[in-house]
A and B are shown apart, each in its own frame.
Chain A
Amino acid sequence: MKDLTQLEEIVMIAIWSLKDEANGVSIKKMVNEMSGKNYFYNVVYTTFEQLVRKGFVTKYYGEPTAVRGGKRKVFFKMTDTGLQALERAYERQNRIWSGITKDAIKGGFAS
């Protein structure tokens, strides 16, 4: 199974935590909050494509509204594979960062 890239990781976490509210706009906002960057929809949607292709999420559509000019919304939901991938990502992060605190990094090299 493939690893998640950093951006994919963030998007996945956003999708996971937003549960039923995981549509394009809200995911984009949360991703920007978490990553601290200002991504636009094209980047986020590309990541959606990749995740769907890898089978980590599935997509379904909502109702069109007037505000959106009559266009429907797209929603994402985690799949089991996706959850597994998230788990692995978490474990990986742990392994990499185990035992390192922020102060330790601030203080220079590992003692």
Chain B
Amino acid sequence: MKQNKNRIPQFPFLLLKQLYAFSDGDCYSGDIQEEFDEIMQSEGKRKAHSWIWVNAIRAIPSTMKSQLIWGGSMFKNHTKVAIRNIRRHKGYSFINIMGLAVGIACCLLIFLYLQNELTYDKYHENSHRIYRISSTYITSGEPIRFAVASPALGSRLKAEYPEVEAFVRTVPIPQILFHQVERDFTFYEQHLLAADPDYFTLFTYDFISGDPQTCLAEPNSIVLTEEFATKYYGSNDPMGKILQTGDGRDLKVTGLIKNPPQNSHVPVRGVVSFSTWDTEGRLADWPLFEVVGFTYVLLPDNYDFTHFWDRWPPFYEKYCAEDGERYGQTYVPNFIPLEDIRYGSMRFRFDVDKGSWSYLYAFIAIGIFILVLACINTINMTTAHAATRAKEVGIKKVLGSGRKNLIFQILGESAFISLIAFVVGFILLQLFIMSFPVEQWLDFKVGMNIFQNPLLLFSAIGLFIFISIASGLYPAFYITAVMPIKVLTGTFKSGRKGLFIRRTLVTAQFAISIGVIVLMLFMNNQVNFMRNRDLGFKKENVVSIPIRDRNMWTNIPAIEDELMKSPNILSAATGDSRPGAAGTGLYSFEGVEGMEEHNFHVFAVGFNYVPTLGLEIISGRDFQEAHTTDRTQAVIVNETLVKEMGWEDPIGKRITQGNNFEAQVIGVVKDFNFQSLHNQIQPLLMRMQGQNSGRLFLKIRGENIRQSMAFIEEKWKEFSPNRPFEYDFLDEEFGRLYNADQRLNKLVLLFSAICVFISCLGVLGLSSFNAIRRTKEMAIRKVHGASSPRLVIALFKEIFLLFSVAAIIVLPVSYFLIDLWLKNFAYRTTFNILLFIMTTLVGIVIAFLTAGYHCMKVAGANPITSIRYE
């Protein structure tokens, strides 16, 4: 055969072949080749090539048009059939759709949560150009990283580095007392920020009134969010009004902004001009080694930091070298991109609340599990019911339908069901959000508006496609693998094939559900353990009252005396630190070879702190008023510190800090958990507080708490009539350290309930199907003398076996996972096999109850009616 040197280009040729869907396809392609060759001979290669390319491309739209016309008419028919199918098997369709809908609702929620978390701070226009400057101080020991920076840094950087377009210092204000003059009410408000005038240049906020450029220029200016303004002024315009603060300032409202999105690393309800506190601009000369507040800079796009570090040595020389000598430290700034603050891996002191990756991973895992469960459900249901469609498929095949077409048809039905499930799932999610405080649990606002959230739309579509394919592909192949002869002559045995796969899928479902429940129970265990464990101090019934008014401090001894008069109040003390809130400090300790510098945790306390919190002194003594030098020259350490320093005889050891602190160890306190149980107990230093700040702690009796609280409030108001009475209980406060864990716990509880629900749906559907399928068999057994219970057992045996297999598989996996999670905690519960076994047993009981209905119905059926139609 002559070699055809000038081959027809394959791409357009094959395309044309593919697009031609009718008969005589080979003649068709032959004709194309013939004409191609003719043109090649008569007009040349280029003409021939362009001819075939042009025609190939022109064929596309006309093919699409004809496909649409044909496809469209079939589409109507297929939808009709799909709806009819759903109607005919209402129960099974319901189970299918519900399972998918619940799975979809969960996935949507998790997606929204993830989206919210991972786009923290992205809503600012300049978000990719903003950096927060964190400070690292390197001493002889370990480097200490602070999220905050010196207030002088910003202006100096701007002066020396022209690429710093703007800088902003912010100081989150823990609480301010506001007095609304016109209506005369007083509230403490949180989440306020003190900021430089350029704040709104860097960060994007929606202004309702006021000028973003100038609103913070003057001292004593405040910009309010809508929510704040509504609380204080209702629907009146707050612009220009005066708000009085607790420390005697009059703030003028210079701006009103819309409530900012929730996903901001610093929550903001109002912004006060920085100059309000720094009227003389003293902070501009602050040493770079003393830190106050956050500093942000605006740099050019894609800034290359080598430019910065090239010019760092002269900057350091000019501003830091001298102080560095004095402080004995080196200073290095870190630039953290704004978007990395929440989820970045670096840990800083005095940082904002950071998000945790493990939390996110847990969510993603849960979402995947639930989705898998739902899809398995649908697959099982559809394949189990394949027999009902065998005749339809057989006839279609006889009429000439190709297998591919049938597969697409089944997939189409699966897509149709997924679509319905999507709509139902969406509605379910809305209902759920409306009836439960989900926003509180997860701490975010659920924005389900598709139009404002294109990513949600795309993911929803992606999810839809995935579910349609995942839950439809295998059933499509399974259902269409029918030999028409067998169906039509009645020798088709239903349900035999694919039994193994179905069983594997059900086992997988069981395994996932058991695993999730076991995990949940263990998390519960751990959280309870942490709440109830003996922490080395008595946190129960300790009231802690923040002392905000500086002037109150002189009254404290008098208040204490008054309060102690009540028999319900056992002990009173002041302190600036408490378990869960301890600072650290750099001190020098008497070591083996002279003084060693360490940055240990420090408690600043007043007299009586030790007995009030129930701490135990095991050697030496407590601080005592009688010893007047205790205020400045005495220190108590904990056991861990003694061990850390290698002291055999700790009493009397010297501890100093710079030139102004010189003390000796007077006592050793028994180790107590002043941090959450995530951490090992660290070395701790206790000294008497030098400044008047902190709280008043009162140990009260366990009985008559309400009376005691009323009494305390009454006495407090005598001394501080103008301020609201605030208090906290130490055990509740400490419990909040585990907030994240508790929330995770609650959510895992919710999701494991959903897993169980979906698995039960699966068991329900399968058991009903099996029971119906084996009706005849059961009838025959009955006739042969089997009793009803025996029949139930026979029906249930399969599920029981699968469940046990699942349990055996899950055991080692869950052990591994739980062990992994427990590594987060320094103090943990042990893995309890009993819990696992009990979960399995309870699971079997639940499965039995779910399947039982159908089993018993069949087992109790009259054998005559079952066999009659033979």
Chain A positions within 8 Å of B, measured between CB atoms, are 23-25, 28, 40-43, 45-46, 48-49, 59, 61, 64, 66-69, 71-74
Q: Are B63 and A25 in contact (CB under 8 A)?
A: no
State whether the Cβ of B303 lies closer than 8 Å to any Cβ in chain A.
no
Lowest 3 CB-CB distances: which A-B pairs, in order? A71-B30, A68-B30, A24-B31
Contacts of A68 in B (CB 8 A): 30-31, 33-34
Q: B19, B30, B37: which contacts A42 (Cβ < 8 A)?
A: B19
Check if B24 is an interface residue, CB within 8 A of chain A: yes
Query: Considering only CB atoms, which chain B residue lies closest to A40 in the complex?
Result: B55
* A74 & B24 in contact (Cβ 8 Å cutoff): yes
Q: Which residues of B contact A (CB under 8 A)?
A: 1-2, 4, 16, 19-20, 22-24, 26-35, 37-38, 55, 58-59, 62-63
- Pick the residue among B2, B23, B33, B37 that contacts A71 (CB under 8 A): B33
Cβ of A69 and Cβ of B55 under 8 Å apart? no
Contact of B22 among A40, A45, A59, A73 (CB under 8 A): A45
Chain B's nearest CB lies how many Å from the CB of A47? 11
Contact of B27 among A42, A46, A73 (CB under 8 A): A73
Residue in contact with B4 in the complex, picked from A28, A66, A71, A73, CB distance below 8 Å: A66
The answer for the CA separation of A51 and B514 in the assembled complex, in Å, is 66
- How far does the Cβ of A99 sit from chain B's closest Cβ, in whole Å? 38
Residues of B within 8 A of A23 (CB): 31
Output the least CB separation between A103 and chain B (Å): 37
Interface contacts beyond A43-B62, A45-B22, A67-B4: sample of 4 additional A-B pairs, CB < 8 Å, sorted by A: A46-B22, A71-B30, A71-B33, A74-B31
Shortest Cβ distance from B9 into chain A, in angstroms? Answer: 13
> Residues of A contacting B24 with CB < 8 Å?
45, 48, 59, 74
* The one of A42, A61, A73 that contacts B20, using a Cβ cutoff of 8 Å: A42
* Chain B residues whose C-beta falls within 8 Å of the C-beta of A49 in the assembled complex: 22-23
Q: How far is the CB of A77 from chain B (nearest CB, A)?
A: 15
- Contacting pair B62 A24 (CB below 8 A): no
9 A-B pairs within 8 Å (CB atoms) are namely: A23-B31, A25-B38, A28-B35, A42-B59, A68-B30, A71-B26, A72-B27, A73-B27, A74-B31
Q: Looking across the interface, which residue of chain A has its beta carbon closest to that of B20?
A: A42
A67 to B40, CA, bound (A): 12
Q: How far is the CA of A67 from the CA of B36 in the complex (A)?
A: 10
Chain B, residue nearest A74 (CB) = B27
Contact partner of A69 (CB less than 8 A), chosen from B19, B30, B38, is B30
B31 to A, closest residue via Cβ: A24
Separation in Å of the A81 CB from the closest CB of chain B? 20
Residues of A within 8 A of B38 (CB): 25
Q: Do B31 and A64 touch (CB < 8 A)? A: no
Chain B residues within 8 Å of A64, by CB: 30
Q: Within the complex, what minimum Cβ distance (angstroms) separates B529 from chain A?
A: 74
Would A69 and B63 count as touching, CB distance under 8 A? no
Q: How far is the CA of A66 from the CA of B34 in the complex (A)?
A: 10
Q: Which of A25, A28, A42, A71 contacts B62 (CB 8 A)?
A: A42
The residue of chain B having its C-beta at the shortest distance from the C-beta of A61 within the complex is B27
Residue of A nearest to B63 (CB): A42
Residue of A nearest to B19 (CB): A42
| Distance of A67 Cα from B35 Cα, bound (Å) | 10
Instruction: Tell me if B59 and A69 are in contact (CB < 8 A).
Output: no
Which residues in A have their C-beta under 8 angstroms from that of B26?
Answer: 71-72
CB neighbours (8 Å) of B62 from chain A are: 42-43
A41 CB, nearest partner CB in chain B, Å: 6
With a CB–CB cut-off of 8 A, which chain B residues contact A66? 1-2, 4
B17 to chain A, nearest CB (A): 11
What are the residues of chain B within 8 A of A28 when measuring CB–CB?
A: 31, 35
Contact of A40 among B1, B4, B33, B59 (CB under 8 A): B59
B23, A41: Cβ atoms closer than 8 Å: no
- For B37, list chain A residues within 8 Å (CB): 67
B22 adjacent to A67 (CB under 8 Å): no
Contact A71 B27 (CB under 8 A): yes
C-alpha spacing A64/B29, complex, angstroms: 12
Distance, CA A46 to CA B38, complexed state (A): 23
Contact B4 A41 (CB under 8 A): no
Given A25-B34, A67-B33, A67-B34, CB of A40 within 8 Å of CB of B58: yes
Q: Which of A40, A43, A46, A72 contacts B30 (CB 8 A)?
A: A72
> How near does chain B come to A100, taking the closest CB pair, in angstroms?
33
Q: Give the CA-CA distance A28 to B32 in the complex, in Å.
A: 11
A25 and B31 contacting across the interface, CB-CB below 8 Å: yes
A61 and B27 CA atoms in complex are apart in Å by 9
| Complexed CA–CA distance, A64 and B16 (Å) | 20
Q: Which residue of B lies closest to A44 (CB)?
A: B31
- How far apart are the CA atoms of A61 and B24 in the complex, in Å? 10
CA distance A45 to B59 in the complex (A): 13
Shortest C-beta distance, B45 to chain A (Å), equals 16
Distance A69 CA – B22 CA, assembled complex (angstroms): 20
Which residues from B are CB-within-8-Å of A43? 62
Q: Which residues of A contact B2 (CB under 8 A)?
A: 66
Q: Are A71 and B58 in contact (CB under 8 A)?
A: no
| A21 CB → nearest B CB, Å | 13
Docked Cα-Cα span, A24 to B59, in Å, equals 17
A45–B23 Cα distance when bound, in Å, is 9
User: Within the assembled complex, what's the spacing in Å between the Cα atoms of A71 and B27?
Assistant: 6
Q: How far is the CA of A24 from the CA of B55 in the complex (A)?
A: 16
A69 and B29 contacting across the interface, CB-CB below 8 Å:
yes
Tell me the bound Cα distance from A46 to B58 in angstroms: 16
In the bound complex, residues from chain B placing their C-beta under 8 Å from that of A46 are: 22
**Is B55 a contact of A73 with CB atoms below 8 Å?**
no
Chain B min CB distance to A46 (Å): 7
In the bound complex, CA of A41 to CA of B34 (Å): 12
Q: How far is the CA of A61 from the CA of B37 in the complex (A)?
A: 21
Q: How far is the CB of B14 from chain A (nearest CB, A)?
A: 12
